[in-house]
Amino acid sequence: MTRDRTRAPRNHQARDTFKPERRRAGSRAASSQPGTPSVPENPTLNPCDDPRIAPHCERVRALVTPKRWAHILRVAQTADAIAEGNAFADDARHAARLAAILHDAARDMSDAELLRLTPARSDAEAHHPLSIHGRAARILAERWGVTDARVLRAIEGHTYGVPLGEPVGMAVYVADVSEPGRGVNDDIRELAKHDLQAAYKRAVESKVNYLRARGKHVHPTTLEVHHQIAAEPS
């Protein structure tokens, strides 16, 4: 049985794993937590230095814990490295950074807050409101004026997956599950720097296999993506 390392086991679709840390976001603190690499993906990148992204940084930072914010910055750095490695055009690279900054905007909200933003669409979602934090973050991003469909789909899709052929969404998905602070999925991160689609397939397959092996619910959107991957010639 292959262990899926894309998600922590306790709360299948959406539970992220973090250790408390009190460092100020935007510094290199994100890379200095116990058990994490000393060098982040792109230590010189702070997407919040970009005036187009800075207001969103402030909004997100006000909604999440410091440790979450550190994770978010690492995801942005990793997504940017993936975008660079896969020769994204400048606008797509910017979209990946912005989506990464926004992807967990709702991750620290209470169940009630999440459900107020976006009602559950199934019993599974009703039982695990945390699993809708990607959709909730998309709604926040729209309220904050984000209109780029690639960004919005990537934000929402970071929990359930995005269709193959959406490079921005795939980059954010892979960056989220493999950023160095996770301490897992280094192979997926390295693969993603030169073959994003292969890395994305590996990440989704690993997740679905993990959930199925434990008899856990697999969200219909994740299943759709998985079927698409299975039908794709390798």
Q: Give, in degrees to the nearest 5, the angle at Cα 147 between 146 and 148.
A: 105
Q: Which is nearer to Fe ion, 67 or 107 (CB)?
A: 107
Burial class (CB in 10 A: 0-12, 13-18, 19+), 37: middle
- Using DSSP's 3-state secondary structure scheme, residue 137 falls into helix
Q: Report d(CA 83, CA 96) in Å as an integer.
A: 7
Q: How far is the CB of 71 from Fe ion (least distance, A)?
A: 6
Q: How far is the CB of 48 from Fe ion (least distance, A)?
A: 16
Q: Which is nearer to Fe ion, 80 or 176 (CB)?
A: 176
Supply the minimum distance, in Å, between the C-beta of residue 14 and Fe ion: 6
Residue with tokens 């994003």: 196
Minimum CB separation of residue 106 from Fe ion in Å reads 8
CA 189-151-57 angle, 5° bins: 85
Size of the site for Fe ion (CB under 5 A): 3
Residue 125 interacting with Fe ion (CB under 5 A)? no
User: Of the listed pieces 41-49, 169-177, 182-190, 220-228, which binds Fe ion according to CB under 5 A?
Assistant: 169-177
Binding of residue 104 to Fe ion (CB under 5 A): yes
Per CB under 5 A, contacts with Fe ion among 55-94 are none
Amino acid present at 124: A
Q: Which residues bind Fe ion (CB under 5 A)?
A: 104, 107, 176
